[in-house]
């Protein structure tokens, strides 16, 4: 067992865990675009979860191959978990904050458009999106 490189391997696993959180944000964005958080498309949600785990499997396997990790060690999986927790407690909060701002602005714009269309329809005029 190569004990002198264990901390190095652990740090790599933490980084991979952190970046796997970023990868999940991509799948989460796709899920949000199609309305899966509200339960409208369970099949797509399940498919996206499976796709994420396949991507995660490829990332961890490639990392283990490139950096020549030793055989399975528990500290490696702990490193992945620590990296994911670090991501969820830091960068994820910022992403969620900006996502919320964008959502609110888009929702207000859509509501204004709907109100404008209703007003113009009552007046008997045609709606011009420009």
> pTM to 2 decimals?
0.70
Q: Say if residue 129's pLDDT is above 90.
A: no
DSSP notation for 13-33: HHHHHHHHHHHHHHHHHHHHH
What percentage of residues in the chain have a pLDDT greater than 70?
A: 90
pLDDT (tens digit, 9 = 90+) per residue, 66-107?
988 888 788 889 999 999 999 989 888 888 788 778 778 887
């Amino acid at each position: 067992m190569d004990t002198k490189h264990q901390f190095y391997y652990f740090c790599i696993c933490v980084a991979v865990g952190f970046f796997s959180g970023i990868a999940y944000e991509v799948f989460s964005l796709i899920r949000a675009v199609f309305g899966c958080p509200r339960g409208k498309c369970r099949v797509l949600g399940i498919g996206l979860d499976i796709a994420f785990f396949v991507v995660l499997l490829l990332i961890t396997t490639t990392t283990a191959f490139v950096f020549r990790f030793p055989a399975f060690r528990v500290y490696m999986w702990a490193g992945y978990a620590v990296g994911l927790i670090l991501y969820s407690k830091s960068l994820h909060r910022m992403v969620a904050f900006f996502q919320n701002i964008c959502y609110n602005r888009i929702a207000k714009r859509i509501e204004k458009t709907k109100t404008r269309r209703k007003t113009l329809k009552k007046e008997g005029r045609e709606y011009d999106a420009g």
